[in-house]
Amino acid sequence: MPVSNKTDIVAESVVGKGPRRLRKKAAASVVVSDPSGPSSVALDLGELNELLGYSLKRAQLRIFEDFLRCVAPVKLTPAQFSVLLLLDRNPGRNQTEIAMTLGILRPNFVAMLDALENRGLCTRQRSPNDRRSHVLMLTDKGRTTLAKAKKLVADKHEARLIDVLGPRQHRAMLEMVAKLAKEL
Amino acid sequence: MPVSNKTDIVAESVVGKGPRRLRKKAAASVVVSDPSGPSSVALDLGELNELLGYSLKRAQLRIFEDFLRCVAPVKLTPAQFSVLLLLDRNPGRNQTEIAMTLGILRPNFVAMLDALENRGLCTRQRSPNDRRSHVLMLTDKGRTTLAKAKKLVADKHEARLIDVLGPRQHRAMLEMVAKLAKEL
DNA sequence: TATTGTTATACTCTATAACTATA
DNA sequence: TATAGTTATAGAGTATAACAATA
């Protein structure tokens, strides 16, 4: 997305102020002789390419963009999808438990749940046993929305990732990334 | 980090409101019979574990935390480190070029550069050829700081990642993640 | 007219303190 | 007293529009 959209390299597009001298045709890996001006030669990333965190971050951004595109028909963000998934698997839990499991801070979870509840995807009920806590449940609409989302994720999003990486590498990456998330 | 810090599972800590009946001893993979109360059984993540983006995001957060810890002695964030690295490899570029290469929007790059310049790590000079643009250069202090940071990254941060993943998987992951960042 | 650096601004995420109602 | 949900708030990160100086 970023990283140089100027595809064609124009080595000499500016009329220099100094005297214009003849110049040798530049070699393959051009380094513009005139150090100023909009030289527009692709920059050297250096050891950035060897920094796992750097590429990982950029990959993560792309993956989330792809997720949003694929799941757009049901209008769910990755975070919202993860909440619905968790509610489906763990009905009757309270906000603290769901939020904690997803690494969301309780105060920040309130607005998230408001949005999902306002869309009729889940409900909050005061627990009769502990009237401080809210029992969370998916609604029928929430379940059907989740089902649609899961299909979009599997058929479009994950399918795309598997297509780019290949099934074996996709699986390997899943394991490595889980290991890092767990053991680092 | 999150995901249940309550290690010991207490299956029956609440006095139920209804009549207390005898209950069979729960099986190995406990599901608390009473659906309410602070049941504190680890939640089921379901297909979240198969979602590459989910684990990738969590891994990325851990990696950045580790980076910050390791590089703390020179007080550089991952973003600042990437800027210094790029300035070192590509001296004399302007703000637009550096920002674009790193996927940073030009307006947001201004404050970042202010911080680095105020710390005496780099300089902005108006280009004599195009007085609109600023030629960016590392200072000597910037270079020594970068050198220290690079050593910390290699000896502590990347070393930790290689330690967790193993050298072969680390290399494999580097390639996969670069592929995703490029081709997705 | 177009571009560079900049300001202003807004929206999302994330983080912390403190309140309320319950326990 | 401690906990669940909540409010308020502050700080990063990211996004767009528009302006001054320059081309």
Predicted pLDDT at B154 = 98
Q: What is the DSSP string of A15-83?
A: --SSPPPP-PPP-SS---SS-SS---PPPP-GGGGG-HHHHHHHHHHHHHHHHHHHHGGGT--HHHHHH
What's the total number of domains in chain A? 1
pLDDT digits (tens, 9 = 90+) for B31-78: 333 333 344 678 999 999 999 999 999 999 999 999 999 999 999 999
**C16 C1' closest Cα residue:** A107
- CA/C1' separation B92–D12 (Å): 29
Predicted pLDDT at A41 = 78
Residue B130 touches partner A, C-beta closer than 8 Å: yes
Q: Is residue A129 in a domain?
A: yes
Predicted pLDDT at B40 = 64
What does pLDDT average to in each consecutive run of 10 residues of chain A (184 residues)? Answer: 28 27 28 38 92 98 98 98 98 97 98 98 97 98 98 98 97 97 94
Q: Is residue B57 in a domain?
A: no
Predicted pLDDT at B124 = 97
> Residue B175 sits in which domain range?
72-183
Distance, CA of B54 to CA of B48 (rounded, Å) = 7
Predicted pLDDT at A15 = 26
Predicted pLDDT at A24 = 29
Distance, CA of B30 to CA of B41 (rounded, Å) = 8
From residue B49, alpha-carbon distances to A36, B65, B173, B180 in Å are 50, 22, 18, 19
The answer to whether A11 and A30 have CB atoms below 8 angstroms apart is: yes
Q: Is residue B104 in a domain?
A: yes
| Cβ distance of B43 and A90 shorter than 8 Å | yes
Predicted pLDDT at B41 = 79
| Proportion of chain B above pLDDT 90, given as a percent | 77
Query: How near does any CA of chain B get to the CA of A66, in Å?
Result: 8
Distance, CA of A166 to CA of B76 (rounded, Å) = 36
- What is the nearest nucleotide to B108, using C1' and CA? D14
CA nearest to B5 within chain A: A100
Report the 10 Å Cβ neighbour count for A16: 12
Using DSSP bridges, classify how beta strands B134-138 and B122-126 pair: parallel, antiparallel or unpaired. antiparallel
Q: Is residue A20 in a domain?
A: no
Tell me: pLDDT of B12 over 60. no
Q: Which of B53, B62, B52 lies closest to B3 in space, CA to CA? A: B62
Nucleotides of D under 7 A from a protein CB: 3-9, 13-18, 21-23
Q: Is residue B94 in a domain?
A: yes
Query: How near does any CA of chain A get to the CA of B155, in Å?
Result: 13
Residues near B5 by Cβ (< 8 Å), separated by ≥ 6? none
- Give the CATH number, domain containing residue B95: 1.10.10.10
From residue A92, alpha-carbon distances to A75, A127, A146, A162, B36 in Å are 24, 9, 17, 34, 7
**Which positions 158-177 of A are in contact with B (Cβ < 8 Å)?**
158, 160-161, 164-165, 169-170, 172-174, 176-177
Q: Is residue A7 in a domain?
A: no
Q: What is the largest CA-CA distance in chain B?
A: 88
Q: Is residue A160 in a domain?
A: yes
Nearest beta carbon to residue A127 from set B36, B103, B165: B36
Q: Is residue A61 in a domain?
A: no
Residue A144 touches partner B, C-beta closer than 8 Å: no
- What is the nearest nucleotide to B94, using C1' and CA? C4
Q: What is the pTM of this model?
A: 0.82
SS (H, E, C) B25-69: CCCCCCCCCCCCCCCCCCCCCHHHHHCHHHHHHHHHHHHHHHHHH
B79 neighbourhood in chain A, CB within 8 Å? none
What length is written for chain A? 184
Residue A8 touches partner B, C-beta closer than 8 Å: no
- In this structure, of B9-23, B88-102, B137-151, the range with the lowest mean pLDDT score is B9-23
Predicted pLDDT at A28 = 26
Taking CB atoms within 8 Å and a gap of at least 24, the contacts of B166-175 are B169/A172, B169/A176, B170/A52, B172/A169, B172/A172, B172/A176, B173/A52, B173/A173, B173/A176, B173/A177, B174/A50, B174/A52, B174/A55
